[in-house]
Homo-oligomer: A and B are copies of this chain.
Amino acid sequence: MNDLKEHDELQGVEPGHDHTEVVRQVSTQLPEDDILYDLADLFRIFADSTRIKILYALYESELCVGAITQLLGMTQSAVSHQLRALKQSKLVKYRREGKTIFYSLADEHVVTILAQGMEHIEE
Contacts and interface: CB of A to CB of B under 8 A. Distances in A.
A19 to B, nearest CB: 4
A60 B107 contact: no
14 contacts: A19-B67, A22-B67, A26-B63, A26-B71, A30-B53, A30-B56, A35-B121, A39-B114, A40-B52, A43-B46, A43-B47, A43-B117, A113-B113, A116-B116
A109 interface: yes
B42 A120 contact: yes
A2 interface: yes
Nearest to A22: B67
A74 interface: no
A65 B121 CA distance: 25
